[in-house]
Amino acid sequence: MRRPLIVLVAVLSLAVLASCASAPTGRSGGTSCATSDQPQLTGARVLSVTAAAHPGGTYAFPANPPNPTPSPIAGVPAYCDVTVLLTHPELDDRVRVEVWMPLTGWNGRFLAAGGGGFVAGLFDRYLAPAVKDGYAAASTDAGVSTNGSRPPSWALDHSGNVNQGLLTNFAFRSVHEMAQVGKQLTASFYGRPAAHSYWNGCSTGGRQGLMEAQRYPADFNGILAAAPAINWDRFTVAEFWPQAVMNQAHTFPTACEFNAFTQAAIAACDRDDSVADRVIDRPENCRFNPHQLVGTTVTCEGKTVQISQADAELVDKIWQGPTSHEGQHLWYGPLKGTPLDGLAATAAGPDGTRHGAPFAVAADWIKYFLKRRPGFDTSSIGYGEFEQLFQQSGTQYHAVIGTDNPDLSAFRDAGGKMITWHGLADRLISPQGTIDYRRRVEAAMGGTGATDQFYRVFLAPGVDHCSGGTGSVPTDPLAAVVDWVEHGHAPETLPAATTSTAGRPVTRNLCSYPQLSHYIGHGDPDSAGSYTCA
Ligand SMILES: [Ca+2]
């Protein structure tokens, strides 16, 4: 057996040494990142452990085009970055786990963080703010690409078959292993184990958190699983539905034309909640009919365009969500008022002819995991093939990545607490999938009250995927998880905030599902104090 390689990188700056001199951290006295401890894992082998010390200060994110570069984070303490390379011998993969540990001000907690799309871990985007807040924090690449703009070429092996081992890594195995590695390194580094362990993720990260609660219920005391990509086998194909509708109709409206429907729905239903704030608080109750817009005109790129019957029929089917050829509900569509340019995007070819521009995760799931042909042309997918792909996805992948098991009894019995919040204007993942899951959990776990003891869901009107949109976004949902775990305070509300179109600060308390916030009829509609949960 190959002896694991331990590389100790001494890049300690004077600043680090100075800050560490008085730090009561670590078996090594907190004066260096040196570690001789090997994480122990079953089913995986450690290839190397590399440690590097970083001085405190302002953390500047490296540019990662085409993604926007986050703002630098000031006030990051000196920290130790331990990188562990793992392999699963039967797979010969390379899984990178990074654990960042503050050299001063450790809050006694371990935090693991998730990814997005086909990326398992976002690394510094979560780790830098976590270390600033005093967490020992970890991220894993699951042995797959960390470049979110690249197709998941890892999906297929050299024979063109789906690489089940890497899919297993991505679906669940690597997060569990990261929890083990991270907790062991944290205990070794500080000389005592973390008092509590947490998960923080949105989208794919939300799915990973729920997968942990379902599959490895003892890994984390508290889980924040936002806008979760659960029901993966179904919703990922359903994300392609708007494209299938357009392919079938050979009609490809512009984003401007689709936006006319979104804005008309908002105009029609905004005041149903008594507050004219461009947010539809209960979009599932919005009765706006897209056919009302037929014959009206909008200005798109300086041209006057008339909304057609065909446009309205497309939007009707997109809002309705995918159905079978017999009209049976397959999955949910976006709620009214949600931007449609995420899943119903189109583009113009060189000759000006418009075509569909599918969301990459949905198109790549079809090309790589269902068709196993990276060059497959998704523009040919109409209703018939869509339905076939939807069924195939469930048959082949529900068991590995569906992440919709409602039996959370082991998580509950371990004392775990979990919060999910989901924007009701999420353009990529329908919040109704989250509501569907929460209802199934209630049915399996003894009802609303019994479920509320350990798992709460908060719906955020007008909020887009993980952030953004017109509505108020949760300000610090992780703090609510920590408070619940460590002080037993089950959150009735989740504080949220945004800035109004007029530039005014807006606050709102999101209510624990199935409650929603209601305007009390008087008082400043921009202030959370003017609302009550009911
Ligand atoms: Ca409103």
Q: What is the pLDDT of residue 334?
A: 98
Q: Sign of dihedral through CA atoms 449, 451, 455, 461?
A: negative
- What is the average per-residue pLDDT within 11-34? 40
Question: Taking a C-beta distance cutoff of 8 angstroms, is the pair 256, 346 a contact?
Answer: no
| Ligand 1 center–CA 478 separation, angstroms | 27
Q: What tens digit of pLDDT does each residue of 479-492 get?
A: 999 999 999 999 99
Structure tokens at 456: 């709460």
* Nearest CA among 492, 487, 422, 411 for reference residue 454: 411
| Ligand 1 center–CA 261 separation, angstroms | 17
| Ligand 1 center–CA 389 separation, angstroms | 38
Question: Taking a C-beta distance cutoff of 8 angstroms, is the pair 356, 345 a contact?
Answer: yes
* Catalytic hit among 174, 203, 393, 517: 203
Which residues are near ligand 1, the ion (C-beta closer than 5 Å)?
270, 273, 275, 277, 279
Q: What tens digit of pLDDT does each residue of 68-97 get?
A: 899 999 999 999 999 999 999 999 999 999
**304-334 burial by CB neighbour count: b if 16+ within 10 A, else e?**
ebebeeebbbbbebbbebbbeeeeeebbbbb
Of the ranges 24-38, 51-65, 188-202, which one carries the lowest mean pLDDT score? 24-38
Structure tokens at 399: 């068991």
Q: How far apart are CA 215 and CA 401, in angstroms?
A: 11
**pTM (predicted TM-score):** 0.94
Q: How far apart are CA 86 and CA 93, in angstroms?
A: 8
Return the SS3 of 446: coil
- What is the average per-residue pLDDT within 348-375? 97
* Nearest CA among 205, 207, 200 for reference residue 223: 200
Q: What is the pLDDT of residue 38?
A: 87
> Given a cut of 80, is residue 508 above it in pLDDT?
yes
Q: What tens digit of pLDDT does each residue of 278-294 get?
A: 999 999 999 999 999 99
Q: How far apart are CA 458 and CA 516, in angstroms?
A: 8
Q: What tens digit of pLDDT does each residue of 414-437 get?
A: 999 999 999 999 999 999 999 999
- What is the average per-residue pLDDT within 257-275? 98
Q: What is the pLDDT of residue 220?
A: 98
Whether 203 is a known active-site residue: answer yes
Q: What is the pLDDT of residue 448?
A: 98
Q: How far apart are CA 123 and CA 148, in angstroms?
A: 12
Question: Taking a C-beta distance cutoff of 8 angstroms, is the pair 204, 396 a contact?
Answer: no
| Ligand 1 center–CA 475 separation, angstroms | 20
* Catalytic hit among 54, 88, 422, 465: 465
| Ligand 1 center–CA 290 separation, angstroms | 19
| Ligand 1 center–CA 283 separation, angstroms | 10
Q: How far apart are CA 497 and CA 510, in angstroms?
A: 10
Q: How far apart are CA 23 and CA 105, in angstroms?
A: 8
Q: What tens digit of pLDDT does each residue of 123-133 get?
A: 999 999 999 99
Cis upstream peptide for 152 (omega within 30°) = no
Number of other residues whose CB lies within 10 A of the CB of residue 18: 11
Report the percentage of the chain scoring pLDDT > 90. 89
C-alpha separations of 358 from 150, 324, 341, 429 in Å: 15, 20, 10, 14
How is 115-165 classified by DSSP, letter by letter?
-BTTBS--THHHHHHHHHTT-EEEEE-TTS---TTS--GGGB-TTSSB-HH
- What is the average per-residue pLDDT within 25-36? 55
Q: What share of the chain is helix, strand, coil (3-state, %, to 5)?
A: 35, 25, 45
Question: Taking a C-beta distance cutoff of 8 angstroms, is the pair 242, 251 a contact?
Answer: no
| Phi, psi dihedral angles at 190 (to 5 degrees) | -95, -5
Report the percentage of the chain scoring pLDDT > 70. 94
Rg (CA), the chain: 24
| Ligand 1 center–CA 440 separation, angstroms | 29
Whether 465 is a known active-site residue: answer yes
Return the SS3 of 387: helix
Question: Taking a C-beta distance cutoff of 8 angstroms, is the pair 137, 200 a contact?
Answer: no
> Given a cut of 50, is residue 259 above it in pLDDT?
yes
Q: How is the beta sheet containing 5-9 ordered, strand by strand?
A: 5-9, 45-54, 79-87, 95-102, 136-140, 109-113, 196-202, 222-226, 417-423, 455-460
Q: Determine if residue 21 is left, alpha or beta; phi over 0 gives left, psi from -120 to 50 gives alpha, anything else beta.
A: alpha
Q: How far apart are CA 287 and CA 336, in angstroms?
A: 9
| Ligand 1 center–CA 196 separation, angstroms | 39
Question: Taking a C-beta distance cutoff of 8 angstroms, is the pair 254, 232 a contact?
Answer: no
Which residue do the tokens 């194909």 mark? 237
> Given a cut of 70, is residue 6 above it in pLDDT?
no
Band of residue 35 on the pLDDT scale cut at 50, 70, 90: low
Q: What tens digit of pLDDT does each residue of 376-391 get?
A: 999 999 999 999 999 9
> Given a cut of 70, is residue 183 above it in pLDDT?
yes
Question: Taking a C-beta distance cutoff of 8 angstroms, is the pair 225, 201 a contact?
Answer: yes
Q: What is the pLDDT of residue 27?
A: 43
Return the SS3 of 219: coil
Q: What is the pLDDT of residue 36?
A: 64
- What is the average per-residue pLDDT within 192-221? 98
* Catalytic hit among 273, 281, 404, 426: 426
